[in-house]
Chain A
Amino acid sequence: MIRWLIGAISLCAVTSSALAAEPLMISIGYLGQAGIKATLSLVELPSENDGIAGARLAIEDNNTTGRFLKQQFGLEEVRVKGGDDVAGAARNLAGRNTFIIADLPPDALLQAADAVRDRGGILFNVGAADDRLREADCRANVIHIAPTRSMLADALAQYLVWKQWKRWLLVVGSHDDDRLEADAYRRAAARFGAKIVQERVFEDTGGARRTDSGVTLIQRQIPVFTQQAPAYDVMIAADESEVFASYLPYRTWDPRPVAGSAGLVPTSWHAAQDQWGAVQIQNRFTKLNARRMTARDMQAWLATRMIGEAASRTNSGDGKAILAFLKSPDFSIAGFKGQRLTIRDWNLQLRQPILLVDGRMVVSVSPQDGFLHQVSELDTLGIDRPESKCRLQ
């Protein structure tokens, strides 16, 4: 914070000597959680700066544009631990920043949103995929950049149906988030004509994710767990909690591909994405952060760029003006996914293509050809306007 202030002040000094007017300061808060979520795969373990690294790149991009418009962007980071007063932290942050990028679990996100609403604070949800945040629990001051579970599931389902892999064996973890993910796959199967031939639950019995002789044990467990299944084309894993899904590929009883939480995974971004000018942002990101760009990084980059884009279009840093612009039909943002990204005005969710990746390559991008929609084919992904329970207020 202090460093950022000094940086900003010295920059102001430099530019004000050169230019008549002082640049307009637009400050953005980043409210995230402390700690790192455990993953089964060591290579997928998130960095400490997962997410905010994307926001930092977007601040640089916004400031490059800002030079020409006399706008200067700053970023202030706050991390909360479980049990901390999220509402208090959000209020405090909102005292200095109209815009807050939030990487929080759903309940914490709602607490933060409600705490800053009276003072005009606007949240950008870059972490929570929960559909309920865009449905019954939607808020007029929260813009959702992260895709929902239903958008991700629909994206995968469209591809599997196009492949004619319509018989699914659904394996669900035993945690709440896993069940929500499974709900999204059930909905997607019904929407796009796939059939879930059987469901199995993989109980989390505890234990370490990393052990010295792990492979030997897993190699015995998974074939047994997946045997005697009815005929199926693809195994769908719903395991947000990172307990078992990554153990499935190549170990199933029947030789079948795995998709969902492992194998072919739907995601908003991946380091392998190289189409539509994406190499440019991948290079810029790696140069700044000395690592590859994740989905959370991209979501935070987009949130920060959307604020920058709205500031340059409205020539303003005012929260009301920027929110009004983002909600208007004039708004669109380029996100290196081959088409304009816009906002669903009924629940403030960013429309976006979803990448289907196998960990090393982008296999396909949904929506798939032939899935049509009267407004935008991107609205074939996720809960559409007529089904929405959201009443913004």
Chain B
Amino acid sequence: MQAAMMMNRSKMLCRVWLCGAATWLVTAAPASAFLAYVSNEKSNTVSVIDTDSWTVTATIKVGQRPRGIELTRDGKSVLVAVGDDDTIQIIDVASQKVVDSLPSGPDPELFTQDAAGKILYVANENDNTVTVIDLEKRVRIGDVQVGVEPEGMAISPDGKILINTSETTNMAHFIDTATREIVANVLVDARPRFAEFKRDGSELWVSSEIGGTVSVIDPAKRVVTDKIEFNIPGLRREAIQPVGIGMTRDAKTAFIALGPANRIAIVDAATHKVIKYLLVGQRVWHMAFTPDEKYLLVTNGVSNDVSVIDVAAQKVIKTIQVGELPWGVAMARP
């Protein structure tokens, strides 16, 4: 394992050198490389990072204030919410260009897809609704009234329950995907921003940016069963603002972005104990794993870069400059 990792690293270094020497070689990157799409909130662009060379290989112009970003299930498109244009744009992965947009409702920020990739659920911060969109027909097919300032979105692994968090109401709303009715509301700490299920559906994690905690919710009983708190010596409590959450497929390890604390907390997902804090860039927002889960990329909003974390070694190995105020990140196969 260790040897394999070292091999990888030397290969990586080699490629960085090659990039400097002749950039066209990047286009001939092997199939093992992935592409990370990073939304830059202020630049109105999406930076594309090659995870083999760890360089920005393309910068795509998008609409105003791009934030939430995800790959479609078929891997052909990247969806990016451009809040100030009140729409979600579709980037074609093959041509790396914006090809269409979706009727998302006002000020979309985060969204999630159903397992089949047919339906998109969008949080619209400005009118307290979750908009339901048919991805194939690209039309709006419904709305769900939720709390004030809907933000975080997640879908249960069995596809039956959609979670939406509302930032001023401070709740995780459980929405039945069949009836599109709210079936339960769970109070969490102030300004819940992000929701993530364990792959086996046994736990739902919700980060509270202002509350400074991550609530662990039992999705069956729909109650908060545990709260993860973060104590970083020398750092005032107000600076610890959990936002993005990433969990490994085996549900053993979770990574939590702590915003202006400039750190990623690594948490034992079984015991809910913090194992380690990794120093990254300023105001860390969101994250995405490479599909092989070897690396985790996190966006640093204020320092305008992306940190690369070696998941097994639990170390930051690289920092990549992107556009201004990077926010979201999605991973695609080239």
- CB closest residue in chain B, given A373: B236
A284 in the interface (beta carbon within 8 A):
yes
- State whether B125 touches A65 (Cβ < 8 A): no
- State whether A332 touches B185 (Cβ < 8 A): no
Size category of the binding interface on chain B:
20 to 34
Choose one: A68, A284, A309, A334; the contact of B182 (CB below 8 Å): A68
- State whether A284 touches B238 (Cβ < 8 A): no
- State whether B168 touches A377 (Cβ < 8 A): no
Question: A64 CA to B149 CA in the complex, in Å?
Answer: 10
- State whether B169 touches A64 (Cβ < 8 A): yes
Known: A65-B147, A68-B182. A280 touches B238 (CB 8 A): no
A339 in the interface (beta carbon within 8 A):
yes
- State whether B210 touches A334 (Cβ < 8 A): yes
Count chain A residues whose beta carbon lies closer than 8 angstroms to a beta carbon of B: 22
Known: A68-B182, A68-B185, A378-B238. A334 touches B169 (CB 8 A): no
Binary interface profile of A, 305-334, with partner B (CB < 8 Å = 1, else 0)? 100010011000000000000000000111
- State whether A334 touches B128 (Cβ < 8 A): no
B171 in the interface (beta carbon within 8 A):
yes
Choose one: B126, B147, B210; the contact of A340 (CB below 8 Å): B210
Majority secondary structure, B binding face: loop
Which chain A residues border B210 with CB–CB below 8 Å? 332-334, 339-340
- State whether B182 touches A340 (Cβ < 8 A): no
Which chain B residues border A61 with CB–CB below 8 Å? 148, 168-169
B191 in the interface (beta carbon within 8 A):
yes
- State whether A376 touches B238 (Cβ < 8 A): yes
- State whether B185 touches A69 (Cβ < 8 A): yes
Binary interface profile of B, 177-202, with partner A (CB < 8 Å = 1, else 0)? 00000100101001100000000000
B157 in the interface (beta carbon within 8 A):
no
- State whether B187 touches A313 (Cβ < 8 A): yes
Known: A313-B187, A340-B190, A340-B210. A334 touches B167 (CB 8 A): yes
B152 in the interface (beta carbon within 8 A):
no
Which chain B residues border A277 with CB–CB below 8 Å? 125, 149, 167, 191
Which chain B residues border A41 with CB–CB below 8 Å? none
Which chain B residues border A338 with CB–CB below 8 Å? 260
A47 in the interface (beta carbon within 8 A):
no
- State whether A334 touches B239 (Cβ < 8 A): no
- State whether A68 touches B211 (Cβ < 8 A): no
Choose one: B125, B173, B182, B239; the contact of A339 (CB below 8 Å): B239
A283 in the interface (beta carbon within 8 A):
yes
Which chain A residues border B191 with CB–CB below 8 Å? 277, 334
- CB closest residue in chain A, given B189: A332
Which chain A residues border B300 with CB–CB below 8 Å? none
Question: A378 CA to B168 CA in the complex, in Å?
Answer: 22
- State whether A339 touches B185 (Cβ < 8 A): no
- State whether A68 touches B171 (Cβ < 8 A): yes
Which chain A residues border B147 with CB–CB below 8 Å? 64-65, 68
Which chain A residues border B45 with CB–CB below 8 Å? none
- State whether B126 touches A280 (Cβ < 8 A): yes
- State whether B169 touches A68 (Cβ < 8 A): yes
CB distance from A362 to the nearest CB of B (A): 16
Interface pairs (30), CB distance under 8 Å: A61-B148, A61-B168, A61-B169, A64-B147, A64-B148, A65-B168, A65-B169, A68-B147, A68-B171, A69-B185, A277-B125, A277-B149, A277-B191, A280-B125, A280-B149, A284-B126, A312-B170, A312-B187, A332-B210, A333-B210, A334-B167, A334-B168, A334-B210, A338-B260, A339-B238, A340-B211, A340-B212, A376-B238, A377-B238, A378-B238
Chain B interface residues (CB < 8 Å from chain A)? 107, 125-126, 128, 147-149, 166-171, 173, 182, 185, 187, 190-191, 209-212, 236-239, 241, 260
Chain A interface residues (CB < 8 Å from chain B)? 61, 64-65, 68-69, 277, 280, 283-284, 305, 309, 312-313, 332-334, 338-340, 376-378
